[in-house]
Amino acid sequence: MDRRRRKGVEGIDDFFCELTIMRGRSNGRKRPLSTTSKIAGDSSSVPAQTQQNCYEGERLASLLKSIRREMESVMRSDRVILPEKLCLKKQFSIGVNEVTRVLERMNPLSHTDDTKDDDNLNKAPSIKLQAILLANDCNPRWLTKHLLGLASSREVPLIFVRDMKGGSLRLGELVKLKTAIAVGIKARGNAINQLVADILLE
């Protein structure tokens, strides 16, 4: 019986080992399995491009303060005064599910111009995201793992948020919620978008 149990356990281990290897392959090429952990880890292990777009400490405080200031400016300049909750919904896609839905509706780079024209004839123009604020303290990690590839295929930059209290708490404060793992900034052509454009050029 002990031998059978050991064989069963070894079979399960082999299965998960093979599954892990398969997950590490993309389009026939192997990729490091530690990519996600590097992004969520210490600054020293984060790739240069990701580290540049990772906000924490005073840099994060300044970013959120600037976005709130421009948000208040946009609310004052609107011809129709809306409740704050509706204004936030108009400017931001809040939460992993909503951000994912908006990204999926956007045309990926692989689409040709003809395909885009056909799509525009069949449906109303979809909302586009200018950038995505993404908390680094998401647990479990796989909840946001798909956003990296999805955002990249739509050329939507990611701005990572890290904080000792939790990046999701800081993003929650921005959109008047307890926590928010992902916040997509909608392209509305207003002061908020100009601010984000300047930030992305830094």
pLDDT digits (tens, 9 = 90+) for 33-72: 333 333 333 433 334 444 458 999 999 999 999 999 999 8
Mean pLDDT calculated for residue range 93-112: 88
In the structure, what pLDDT confidence band is assigned to residue 126 with cuts at 50, 70 and 90? Answer: confident
DSSP string for 60-97: HHHHHHHHHHHHHHHHHH-SS---HHHHHHHHEEESHH
List the CATH code of the domain at 34-200: 3.30.1330.30
* Alpha helices, DSSP H, located in the chain: 2-23, 35-40, 48-52, 57-77, 84-91, 96-105, 113-122, 142-153, 167-174, 191-200
The lowest-confidence range among 125-134, 144-153, 172-181 is 125-134
Could you tell me which of 177, 101, 168, 178 has the C-alpha nearest to residue 134?
Answer: 168
Mean pLDDT calculated for residue range 69-81: 82
Residue 5 has pLDDT above 60, yes or no: no
Residue 157 · residue 200 · CB < 8 Å: yes
What is the predicted pLDDT for the residue at 140?
84
Could you tell me the residue ranges of all domains in the chain? Answer: 1-33, 34-200
Structure tokens at 54: 């990772």
Give percent of the chain with pLDDT exceeding 90: 50
| Mean per-residue pLDDT of the chain | 76
Q: Which residues have CB under 8 Å from 140's CB, separation 6+? A: none
What is the predicted pLDDT for the residue at 116?
52
Mean pLDDT calculated for residue range 121-140: 81
Structure tokens at 33: 């399995």
Per-residue b/e over 146-175, b at no fewer than 16 CB within 10 Å? Answer: ebbebbeebebbbbbbbbeebbbbbbbebb
